[in-house]
Amino acid sequence: MSDSVQVDARRFLDERGSSASLAPNGLNPATIMEKAVKDRIVDSYFYKEQCFALNEADIVDRVVDHVSFVAGTLGGTQRPSPFLCLAFKLLELAPSEAILDMYLAYGGEKFKYLRALACFYLRLTRPAKDVYAKLEPYLEDRRKLRRKNRQGTSLTYIDEFVDDLLTKDRICATSLWKMPKREILEDLGQLEERISPLQHMLDEEDEEENGEEEGGGSQPEEVNGNGEDADRSEGEVEAREDMDVDDDQRRRGST
C-alpha cells in the first residue's frame, strides 16, 4: 500500500516540469509547496497510511477523523501535520469548484477544519479575485480552531485564519503566492467594494446615538414648560399674599 501511494505521489511530483494541468491561478500544483516539505509529506506515516487511493469524498472523513488542529510541520524532525498532508492530497486531486463549495458549506463544529482546509487550498490555487470572493464571507466565522507551530499550541478562530490567508505571505510551512491588494482589484472593476460587518455595526450605533440626541433635544422644552408653570405658581402665591395684606389693613381701619 505504501509503495503504491508513493508511486502516485512521485508521479504527481514528476509532472512539475511537464505540461500537467495548471491550477486556476496558473500555478503548477506540483510546485506550489517547497520540495523539502513535499518530500517529508510523501515519506510520512500519515500520508502513506491515510492518503492511499483517497478521493474527494474520502477527504471529508479523513479531516473529521484525524484533523484536530491547523499546522504545517511539527517538532525537530519537521513532521508534516495531517492538515498539511491532506492539503497536499488536494493539490493532487484538484477538486472541482462544486466539491470545494461543498467543503466550505459544511457547518458545525464537526466540519470546521474541513472549511479551514478548503480555504487554505483555495488560497494556494485560485486567482486573486476568486480568493477574495470565496474567503471573505468566512471572516464572520467565529468558530474556534487549535493551531500548532514551533511556539506550541494556541487558540485561534476561523475568521483569524482566513484573515491570515488574505494578508500574510507564509502559513502552515507554505509560502503563499503574492496577491494584489483588494483595492487594486476594485479599481480594475474585478471586485466590488467590501463593507465590513463591523462598519454596519458602527453605523447602527451612530444611528442610535443620533436618535437619542434628537429625543434629548425636546427635553429643554419640557423644562421650559415646567419653568412657566413654576412662574405662574409663584405669581398666584404673590397675589394671594397681597390680598391677605389688603384684608388685614381693612380690618384694622374698621376698628
Q: Find the mean pLDDT for residues 180-207.
A: 77
Q: CA nearest 71: which of 99, 36, 113, 43?
A: 113
What is the rounded average pLDDT of the residues 61-83?
A: 95
The residue that leads in pLDDT, 243 or 1, is 243
Residue 151: its pLDDT value, please?
82
* CA distances, 60 to each of 33, 84, 161 (Å): 22, 14, 20
Residue with the bigger pLDDT between 15 and 187: it is 187
Q: Which residues contact 203 (CB under 8 A, 6 or more apart)?
A: none
pLDDT in tens, 199-217: 555 566 667 777 666 665 5
| Each residue's pLDDT tens digit, 121-170 | 999 999 999 999 999 999 999 999 999 988 889 999 999 999 999 999 99
C-alpha 221/C-alpha 223 separation (Å) is: 5
